[in-house]
A and B are shown apart, each in its own frame.
Chain A
């Protein structure tokens, strides 16, 4: 126990002052402050990891770790404290923030003017501080303040990248939808008020247990919509593929990797911590939403050839997988199968940690590509592996992880969620027994499509011949960028090969959240089998590599014809064309074919083909609402006619109406 005491005290000390310390660092936001910030982050990260990992089994952290209570400052209770769930997500934030900061040391200095650099550093550190604030908040007010500042600073960072017309429109949609989501989150906090009278988490937790049924349903739906908007669940995802690509790469890495997880943190805090029991249909709602988001997210990722938009869509897919895990956990708690619930929830948490790692790795990789080839359009890349060896191999590790291949960290989360789905069959004569096993098929299909998507991404971007001049003379990325990405890649590999190191604390966290008595047996089993598989794999690789071979270079086979050009290679769209043909109904692309000149169709001077895929949500779900509001606004505008006689008539009419109201209803 002794050995644990000193890191714990350090984490308390640092936990107590982390938000204000961040605030200080961001004010003096010159480059020299970065070393202090990353140093601080490094210490916090190592300490948090150490306490996180070996604190698991002894239940050390089940009590409130530390209460920072500057509520004398603000009019409403404004307290911070770090319990186990908070600590897990703090580890997640820091695990991603540290490499991103190191990556952006060279990325920022190469891409922005000094003035913007100062702003970018200030906002970046404030962005991280606000996320730490959200995770560490232990009163509704503190949570909401940190939540809004998180959205604001991320918008500020996007604005720093540039503010032309198209970007402004995307930023506008991002901020508007985030604000609407936050309104739902505020409402979900305040619905507690009649029962808990204060917004402190302990009071909320107590009130949550005794909430009347109606309030419980309203609360859950508000939390689902509020946090779903921020997490990017399908009907509410509109902002995600618009906002992430236009942010600077390190920022989009943080947004995609970590900010989405903060939304997951919020939802877990509400669904499992504040509202312990709930009807089964809560779980089905979350499960279906997750499945739909997963499927459509990856299908849209297949259709896009801008790398950063593609990664944004694949974030929606992974959030869908996480929500499927959470849905299964909710169903199990509803049927009181607590052990399976612990497994599903642990799977979801593991997958969110892994997704944070490999998604930020991929975004940093795309940042490195953008840095050296000034474009992220897959059609223009190719052959980058030979020109950017480190970034290439790191990107390969990222792609393997996101597809959930066994020796990489994506597999662990998916395996646990699949295992919990199979466990669903033990809930005899409930419809969960039927639905959950079928979800195995959906998750497998999502995995397969993700594989299709990322074979194309890595194959087209890094292998084969360069498809454009920029790709031709791409150069290796500078040292700091490489270090950042290698750190993340090694983390992915380590967790993939040796899952035991981080599984135990997460499983015990999940147990404490769903109040399960004993830990699910399988998780420890998987963490024993995979190291053996990895060992066998390396052994086999070593053995076959020893084959003596004579190497010779020869021109690629082009059916005997000379001059194989790079245009003869498959492009990113053509590789996924068969898959998109199978799922054609999802895309509803509207194609326009134009032959010039019109009057002589058979002797066209030029043919232009353009296909535009607007997701149907925008047309069928958002457009009518927005048009309705604007129509109402224009109608109201006509009321302000400018004629004074009409204004006087308004006053007299109001008076008459009120008198009638007084006369008959008063």
Chain B
């Protein structure tokens, strides 16, 4: 049994490193499909994390939640995105307002900022420090992605990364909220995505371009 314990401990300590890698990759990526794939990877890591904690803390709901993450976020959403790209013949590359190098530097800055923020709160929270740092990093990256990306679809990815960050924060600090609330939140995120997809279709029809930054008619 020792191996399982050690691997669980190893996973618990090392997963945040992988998350940081995905954060950097997400900032640097230029093609939309790789960005979706990275999001899937992130969700997978979080699912593993949930499963390990479930095993570690002997919580049955954790397994249900992990399964939910795998079904929805690792498989469901990326598949939906790829279908969406084909149907909309959306251009593949990601239009951003900050160049790739700048984005990476900002991502690194975000990671350092999240560590600094966590350290100031670490005293109050006994949770593993790097877990909380990873969640804050994910949140800030999500926000950064939404602010810097010009395409509607990329903004949806940014939002999903933000949700992942919040979900991870909930996970690392309190080992998950009551199950009903977790499922409710998942349902809301899903509905949000569905509606955003709907709106992307309508933007496509009325503006026949996907560039959100051009939507500037309502001013003043």
Please report the C-alpha to C-alpha distance between residue A652 and residue B113 in the assembled complex, in whole angstroms.
14
The answer to whether A645 touches B148 (Cβ under 8 A) is yes
Which of B155, B217, B219 has the most C-beta atoms of chain A within 10 angstroms of its own C-beta?
A: B219
Given A645-B212, A663-B120, are A640 and B219 neighbors across the interface (CB < 8 Å)? yes
Chain B residues positioned under 8 Å from A649 (CB to CB) = 147
Please report the C-alpha to C-alpha distance between residue A644 and residue B203 in the assembled complex, in whole angstroms.
14
Chain A residues positioned under 8 Å from B219 (CB to CB) = 640-642
Interface check B156, CB cutoff 8 A: no
Please report the C-alpha to C-alpha distance between residue A322 and residue B143 in the assembled complex, in whole angstroms.
66
The answer to whether B216 touches A641 (Cβ under 8 A) is yes
Chain B residues positioned under 8 Å from A641 (CB to CB) = 216, 219
**18 CB-based A-B contacts, threshold 8 Å:** A637-B220, A640-B219, A640-B220, A641-B219, A642-B215, A642-B216, A642-B217, A642-B218, A642-B219, A643-B213, A644-B155, A644-B213, A644-B215, A645-B148, A648-B143, A648-B147, A652-B143, A663-B120
Secondary structure class of chain A's binding surface, majority of residues: helix
Q: Which A residues have a C-beta under 8 Å from some C-beta of B?
A: 637, 640-645, 648-649, 652, 659, 663
Chain A residues positioned under 8 Å from B216 (CB to CB) = 641-643
With both beta carbons as reference points, the residue of chain A lying nearest to B155 in the complex is identified as A644
Chain A residues positioned under 8 Å from B220 (CB to CB) = 637, 640
Range class of the B interface residue count: 10 to 19
Please report the C-alpha to C-alpha distance between residue A637 and residue B219 in the assembled complex, in whole angstroms.
8
Chain B residues positioned under 8 Å from A637 (CB to CB) = 220
Chain B residues positioned under 8 Å from A645 (CB to CB) = 97, 146-148, 150, 212-213
Please report the C-alpha to C-alpha distance between residue A485 and residue B4 in the assembled complex, in whole angstroms.
108
With both beta carbons as reference points, the residue of chain A lying nearest to B97 in the complex is identified as A645
Which of B120, B147, B217 has the most C-beta atoms of chain A within 10 angstroms of its own C-beta?
A: B147
Chain A residues positioned under 8 Å from B155 (CB to CB) = 644
Q: Which B residues have a C-beta under 8 Å from some C-beta of A?
A: 97, 117, 120, 143, 146-148, 150, 155, 212-213, 215-220
Chain B residues positioned under 8 Å from A643 (CB to CB) = 213, 215-216
Please report the C-alpha to C-alpha distance between residue A103 and residue B147 in the assembled complex, in whole angstroms.
70
CB proximity of B45 to chain A, nearest CB, Å: 25
Chain A residues positioned under 8 Å from B215 (CB to CB) = 642-644
Please report the C-alpha to C-alpha distance between residue A531 and residue B16 in the assembled complex, in whole angstroms.
105
CB proximity of A42 to chain B, nearest CB, Å: 57
Please report the C-alpha to C-alpha distance between residue A131 and residue B131 in the assembled complex, in whole angstroms.
72
Please report the C-alpha to C-alpha distance between residue A663 and residue B113 in the assembled complex, in whole angstroms.
14
CB proximity of A426 to chain B, nearest CB, Å: 65
With both beta carbons as reference points, the residue of chain A lying nearest to B152 in the complex is identified as A644
Given A649-B147, A652-B143, A663-B120, are A644 and B217 neighbors across the interface (CB < 8 Å)? no
Please report the C-alpha to C-alpha distance between residue A649 and residue B106 in the assembled complex, in whole angstroms.
15
Please report the C-alpha to C-alpha distance between residue A637 and residue B147 in the assembled complex, in whole angstroms.
21
Please report the C-alpha to C-alpha distance between residue A649 and residue B213 in the assembled complex, in whole angstroms.
13
The answer to whether A644 touches B212 (Cβ under 8 A) is yes
Please report the C-alpha to C-alpha distance between residue A257 and residue B117 in the assembled complex, in whole angstroms.
69
Please report the C-alpha to C-alpha distance between residue A645 and residue B120 in the assembled complex, in whole angstroms.
29
Chain A residues positioned under 8 Å from B117 (CB to CB) = 659
With both beta carbons as reference points, the residue of chain A lying nearest to B146 in the complex is identified as A648
Chain B residues positioned under 8 Å from A640 (CB to CB) = 219-220
Please report the C-alpha to C-alpha distance between residue A637 and residue B217 in the assembled complex, in whole angstroms.
14
Please report the C-alpha to C-alpha distance between residue A648 and residue B155 in the assembled complex, in whole angstroms.
11
With both beta carbons as reference points, the residue of chain A lying nearest to B148 in the complex is identified as A645
Please report the C-alpha to C-alpha distance between residue A447 and residue B94 in the assembled complex, in whole angstroms.
83
CB proximity of A659 to chain B, nearest CB, Å: 8
Which of A637, A641, A648 has the most C-beta atoms of chain B within 10 angstroms of its own C-beta?
A: A648
Please report the C-alpha to C-alpha distance between residue A642 and residue B217 in the assembled complex, in whole angstroms.
7
Please report the C-alpha to C-alpha distance between residue A153 and residue B98 in the assembled complex, in whole angstroms.
60
Please report the C-alpha to C-alpha distance between residue A659 and residue B139 in the assembled complex, in whole angstroms.
15
